[in-house]
Amino acid sequence: MTKTYNAKDIQVLEGLDAVRLRPGMYIGTTGPKGLHHLIWEIVDNAIDEAANKFCNRIIVTLNKDGSVTVEDNGRGIPVDIHPVLKKSAVEVVYTELHAGGKFNNENYAYSGGLHGVGASVVNALSKWCNVVVQRDGKKYEIKFALQKVGAKLKGGQVVQPLKEIGKSTTTGTTVTFLPDDSIFETVEFSADTVSKRLKELAFLNKGVEIVFVDARQGENASIVKSYKYDGGIKDFVKYINEGKTAIYEEPIFFEGEQDNIKIEIAIQHTDSYTESVFSFVNNIPTTEGGTHEVGFKSGLTRVLNDLARKNGDLKEKDQNLMGEDFREGLTAVLSIKMKNIQFEGQTKTKLGNPEAKPAVEAVTVSELNKYFGLRGTGKTFSSIIDKAIGAAKVREASRKAKEYARQKNSVENYTLVGKLAACSGKNYQNNELFIVEGDSAGGSAKQGRDRHFQAILPLRGKPLNAEKKRIDQVLANEEIKTIISALGTGIGDDLNLDNLRYHKVIILADADQDGAHIRAILATFFYRYMKELINQGHLYIGMPPLYLLKKRGKQEYVYSDAELPEAIERIGGKPYEIQRYKGLGEMNPEQLWETTMDPANRSLMRVTLEDAAEAEKMISILMGDDIEARKKYIVENADFNKNNIE
C-alpha cells in the first residue's frame, strides 16, 4: 500500500510567536514550575527513545552558564528532509508547533515517537538552543536563537542551518538550551527538584541509566548522581519501604496489557498502618489518583477476597474483607501507559479516562491469580490475609468503641461503672486520674490519695497482661471502657477535649516488663483514639521508686539505677540498708502517696509525640512482638524525655 501525503494530513502548525505571547498556555506557569517543565519536555523525548529500547543512557547537566544539556545514546533525531515541509526532521521538531498533538502517525515515516512535542516550545522560550545529532557515522549540528526579524524579536529562529560538523562512531542526540530570563520569573534550576524527578523516571523506566550532573560550581566541583534500576518499580517499592518492616521479603510485581493500555504494578505490605499508593500515567505522577487507581484497588480487593475464600481463610459465614483492610500497610506503585490521556481534578493530576478502570482491574485480578496460583497461596499470601483480618478487627472494634463512647456520652454517666474511685472536686483542671496496675496497688492508691482531686482506676493485671495486645482486644477491655467514659471526651473523630474531666491522666505501672507492656498498651490506646489528649500534654507516666535506701534513721527513695551511686554517697556510704521495690503493690498507702502521688515530691514524665513519624515508630515498636526493642525504646525514651519531667 502506498501512502499519500496531502494537505489534510498536516495538522495546523502554529507559529512559535504564540508560545512567547502566552507561555502559560503551553507550560502552565512562568514560575519555577514552568522553568523546570522545559527540562521535562526535552527529557521526555529521550525517555521515549529509551522506551522503544533504542537508548539506555540519558545525561542531564545543569551548566555553569545557566543552560541545560540533555544527551541520549539513541538513534539520533532523523536529519533527512520532511517530504511536505521541505525541512530536516530535526528542524521541524524544533520550529513547528504541533497544534493539538503531533504528526499524522500513519503517514509520517517516523511514527515511533518522533513527536518532539514540547521541543519547539522549549526552543521558543530559550535565548538559544543547540542540537547535535550523531547518526550514520556523522555528527550534525543545528542552532536556534532569539533573533530580530524585521522589527520583531522572534524566538527559536534558525541561526545555523543543519550541517555536518564531523564524523562519529556512535549515535545519539544532544540538546542544550538557555531559558529566556525575560520570560521566566526565575531561571535558576533546583538540583533537588531535577534529581528527584530523574530518579523517579529511572524507577519508572527499568534499566535506563539516568545521570544527573550539576556543573554550576564549575567542572571540578560537579555533583554527579547516577540512577539505574534494573528492577524498575519493584525497586521503587523497595526504596519507599526502606526503614519500614516488610511483612514478606520481595515486592510482588505484575504487568499486562489490555485495550492498548500497558500496565505495571508493584506492591509490598509492611507492618505499618498507613497506605501509600503512588500512581503514574505515561510517567506523569497522578497524585490525585483517578480511574487507574480505582481499578487497581477494586481488583486487589476482589482477587484477595476470592482467594481467601478458596483458601479457607474466609469461611462461609464470614463477611468479605474491605478494600481498606487489604491496604493497611500497603505500599504500591502503579504505572500505566496509554493514549489520549485526560486529566481532571483540582490540580489536573487525576486520571479521568474511564477505560483505564476495567483494564487495570482485569490485569490486577488475572495476574495476581496467576501469581498466587503458581505459588499455591503460600507464606506471602497468608501474611497479607492475616494483616487484613487484623485490620478488619480493628475497624470493627473502633466502630463499636465509638458507638459505645457516643452512647455513654449521651447518658448521664458521671456515676461510674466498675472500680473507678472518683474524686470529689469538680475543678477539672486540677483533677487527676491515676490508672494503676494491679488491684493491690490500686487499693493502696485509693487509700493514699488526696480524694479531693485524685481519682483511681485500678487495672486488673490479667486481661491486659495476656499476650493479646491488638487494639481490638484493648477496646473490649472493661477498664478501657471505664477510662473512656470517665474522661468524658468521646474518642476518635468525636473527641472533644472541652469535656475532659481530668486534666492529668497518669499511668502508674511497675518498673518491670509487665508494667512496660501496660504502659505500651495504654499509650497506644491514647495515641490511636485520643491523640489530641497527648498533643495537649495531658498524658503522664508516674514514676514509682526502684529502691529505698536506709542508714541510721535517714532514708531516701531512688528512682533509677543511674541515680543509685549518688544516693548512696548522699546517705553516707557503706554500710547501708537497701530495699528494692519489685512493684507498686509492695508499698503501703503512705509510701505510695509520699513517693509517687504527692505533687510536692513525685516525678511525672509527660508523654510527648515529638513528631508524627516518631510516634508511628513508637507505636509499631510498642505494639510489635520484639520485646527487646520495646524495652530498649521505653528506656531510651524515658531518658530522652527527661526535660518533660515535672
**Interface with ligand TSJ (CB under 6 A):** 42, 45-46, 49, 70, 72, 74-75, 77-78, 93, 110, 112-114, 116, 119, 173, 175
Give the nearer residue to ligand TSJ in terms of CB position, either 70 or 459: 70
Residue 183: name the closest of 362, 379, 341, 27 by CA: 27
Give the nearer residue to ligand TSJ in terms of CB position, either 172 or 585: 172
Residue 160: name the closest of 236, 108, 114, 91 by CA: 91
Give the nearer residue to ligand TSJ in terms of CB position, either 10 or 564: 10
Q: Is 214 a catalytic residue?
A: no
Of these residues, 209, 344, 514, 586, which one is catalytic? Answer: 514
Does the CA dihedral 590-593-595-601 come out positive or negative?
Answer: negative
Q: Is 514 a catalytic residue?
A: yes
Give the nearer residue to ligand TSJ in terms of CB position, either 139 or 357: 139
Nearest approach in angstroms of CB 339 to ligand TSJ is: 17
Distance CA 169, CA 281 (A): 36
**Helix axis angle, 612-623 to 627-640, nearest 10°:** 140
CB 162 within 8 A of CB 198: no
Give the nearer residue to ligand TSJ in terms of CB position, either 44 or 432: 44
Nearest approach in angstroms of CB 144 to ligand TSJ is: 11
Q: Is 72 a catalytic residue?
A: no
CB 293 within 8 A of CB 327: no
Edge-to-edge strand list for the sheet holding 284-285:
252-258, 261-269, 330-337, 276-281, 284-285
Nearest approach in angstroms of CB 535 to ligand TSJ is: 50
Nearest approach in angstroms of CB 74 to ligand TSJ is: 4
Nearest approach in angstroms of CB 82 to ligand TSJ is: 13
Distance CA 293, CA 332 (A): 10
Residue 67 backbone dihedrals phi, psi, to 5 degrees = -85, 170
Of these residues, 257, 318, 396, 512, which one is catalytic? Answer: 512
First-to-last alpha carbon distance for the chain, in angstroms, is: 88
Q: What b-and-e string marks burial along 589-625, b requiring 16 or more CB atoms within 10 Å of the CB?
A: eebbbbbbbeeeebbbbbbbbeeeeebbebbbbbbee
Q: Is 512 a catalytic residue?
A: yes
Nearest approach in angstroms of CB 233 to ligand TSJ is: 23
Distance CA 454, CA 421 (A): 9
Give the nearer residue to ligand TSJ in terms of CB position, either 177 or 326: 177
Give the nearer residue to ligand TSJ in terms of CB position, either 49 or 510: 49
CB 607 within 8 A of CB 519: no
Nearest approach in angstroms of CB 120 to ligand TSJ is: 9
CB 5 within 8 A of CB 107: yes
Other beta carbons less than 10 A from residue 516's beta carbon = 20
Question: Active-site positions?
Answer: 437, 510, 512, 514
